[in-house]
Structure 1
Amino acid sequence: MSTATSLPLRDVHLPPYPSWWPLPLGWWLVLGVLALIVLALWAWRALRRRRERRWLQLFDTTVEGAAPGTAQVAAIAELLRRAARRRQAGAELLQGQAWLEFLDAPGSRAFSDGDGRLLLDGAYRPTLAPDEVDRLRSLARARFLTLISGRAR
């Protein structure tokens, strides 16, 4: 019995916990899928921004290409009708107050009661103040982008 007590016994040792590195295959797959999702979202946003820049460039070059005053108002009206046709079939055929109400953004009456009313008769006036045309242009430019891009009205 004395030999049993003289043996150097140690307590039971558990194996070490698995290390965090290198990651198991499942985690690599999860990280790869997340990276693909982030890359796809980034590419989609970049494509959308580039498309919006092209549309705004089209708007600007068309309006700048027209003679100052009434011709610019006519060019703005034409561009807005093109965008409206893309947004809703038959919208380009609206006339008068119905057309202005279609152009109004939700919660805004900028076309019906504001600077946008110039679209009704601005192309037929003998003269226009440049600041009126500039206010209409900035208002119409923003609305053109929302109509043609198909964002929520």
Structure 2
Amino acid sequence: MNGATPTRAGMHGLILPEPVSFWPATPAWYLLFGLVLLLTAWLAWRGWRRWRRNAYRREALAALRGAASPEIAAILKRTALAAWPREQVAALSGADWAAFLRRTAPRAHLAPAEAEALATLAYAPAPPDARGAAARWIRLHDLRA
């Protein structure tokens, strides 16, 4: 070739390497893929469990949408009975029920007047914000309280 530019005919005997594979060849990648798969499965399982555990909340919020005043009180009581043992909830009424509502949902920021209004919904007309306060309690009550 003596310094001349190679021609296509002159490159006839070149052997090209195999194309690079996109699949990793080292065991560390297989381990990483396995760990990512396990982590994804674990997170999906936890999400599914949480979704199932909160089914009573979704059902209560759906029932709350078109509920009248006495029905709101019954929905709150059913929700509490679904979350806590009957011995702790069933006998509560009046000021004790209002205190329970406030104690079990600190993130709902129920004012004492709101909690009292929710506690007397079965016997008195509902204030305008009763449905919103009930929905906040249903969404934000804490089972550890």
Q: TM-score range by the shorter chain?
A: 0.5 to 0.7
Listed one character per residue, the Cα deviations across residues 35-72 of structure 1 (whole Å, up to 9, x for unaligned) are 23322233124314532663333112333464x12222
Does the C-alpha gap of structure 1 residues 40 and 109 become closer, same or farther in structure 2, counting only changes over 3 Å? closer
CA RMSD of aligned residues (A): 3.3
Listed one character per residue, the Cα deviations across residues 89-123 of structure 1 (whole Å, up to 9, x for unaligned) are 62224524444434324756845724222232221
Does the C-alpha gap of structure 1 residues 33 and 102 become closer, same or farther in structure 2, counting only changes over 3 Å? farther
Higher helix share: 1
> 1:124 corresponds to which residue?
123
- 1:22 paired with 2:21, answer no
Amino acid at match of 2:64: V
Range with greater deviation from structure 2 (105-114 or 131-140): 105-114
Task: Work out the percentage of aligned pairs sharing the same amino acid.
Answer: 19
Structure 2 Cα separation of the partners of residues 74 and 108 of structure 1 = 22
Does the C-alpha gap of structure 1 residues 74 and 114 become closer, same or farther in structure 2, counting only changes over 3 Å? same
> 2:37 corresponds to which residue?
36
Structure 1 Cα separation of the partners of residues 54 and 81 of structure 2 = 19
Amino acid at match of 1:128: A
- Provide TM-score, normalisation by structure 2: 0.59
| Contact kept? 2:105, 2:140, Cα under 8 Å | no
User: What is the correspondence of 1:1-153 to structure 2 with a 5 Å cutoff?
Assistant: 22-23=25-26, 25=27, 27-28=28-29, 30-48=31-49, 50-51=51-52, 54-64=55-65, 66=67, 68-85=68-85, 90-93=87-90, 95=92, 96-103=94-101, 104-105=103-104, 110-111=109-110, 113-125=112-124, 127-129=125-127, 131-144=128-141, 146-147=142-143, 152-153=144-145
Question: SS at the partner of 1:22?
Answer: coil
Q: State the 1:135 CA deviation.
A: 2.7
Structure 1 Cα separation of the partners of residues 78 and 113 of structure 2 = 19
Does the C-alpha gap of structure 1 residues 106 and 120 become closer, same or farther in structure 2, counting only changes over 3 Å? closer
Structure 2 Cα separation of the partners of residues 45 and 39 of structure 1 = 10
Structure 2 Cα separation of the partners of residues 74 and 91 of structure 1 = 16
